Chains A and B, each alone.
Chain A
């Protein structure tokens, strides 16, 4: 059971906009930044969004992040086949003094 809660799956057709939610608590998302990682099949994770809504260089602006209270969301617009991957949210947890991850959301592009 992960500390952060994500839907196990999401799907969309090419060109669509999809969102992935991440729910936490006051000790993690509620008081710290949220990060998102993309893991393509058979590869290591890659940083997608940092500090709630910032994109590292090289990440397309089709990817955006937001946070409100103890929840966060990742939005992907103009969905492409290469976006098919697992997506994880993460945050520091003050009570645990450690990083916590969501269980991951498998995105399927239909």
Chain B
């Protein structure tokens, strides 16, 4: 069974930083691309970033480009996103999501339960 468990969310001040982690299990992590998708309170889904299985391709939404950095450690079956220069509009539940293949833009087929990031003074 595919399991994705996010951690690292919490309250951070505007301009601050936070690092989210996602622990994956139930599949061969190194064979799949991974994604971060977020959902602001009461709002719709917004894609944040995609990273290919070998980290060769990494894509970012314009809204986070230059501030967020996605990475993965295939030996640890883990996905990360380093979020810097956080803004109030980054407040959201952040979902870790598996891509259906090993490329840079495979569709999401499994989702974690999400971790809440709140940016507020």
| Residues in chain A within 8 A of chain B (CB atoms) | 2, 33, 35, 37, 39, 43-47, 50-51, 56, 86, 88, 90, 92, 96-104
Chain A CB within 10 Å — which of B37, B45, B100, B110 has the most? B45
| Residues in chain B within 8 A of chain A (CB atoms) | 35, 37, 44-47, 50, 59-62, 95, 100, 105, 107-114
Determine if B45 and A33 form an interchain contact, defined as CB atoms under 8 angstroms apart: no
**Residue B47 contacts which of A43, A46, A101 (CB distance < 8 angstroms)?**
A101
**Residue B45 contacts which of A92, A96, A98, A101 (CB distance < 8 angstroms)?**
A101
Measured between alpha carbons, how far is A44 from B113 in the docked complex, in Å? 5
Closest chain B residue, CB of each to CB of A91 = B107
- Where chain B touches its partner, the secondary structure class is strand
A-B contact pairs, 26 of them (CB 8 A): A2-B44, A33-B107, A44-B113, A45-B95, A47-B108, A47-B109, A50-B107, A50-B109, A56-B109, A88-B44, A88-B45, A90-B45, A90-B107, A90-B108, A92-B105, A96-B62, A97-B59, A98-B50, A98-B61, A98-B62, A98-B105, A99-B37, A99-B108, A101-B44, A101-B47, A102-B44
Residue numbers in B under 8 Å from A101 (CB-CB) = 44-47
- Where chain A touches its partner, the secondary structure class is strand
Measured between alpha carbons, how far is A61 from B92 in the docked complex, in Å? 33
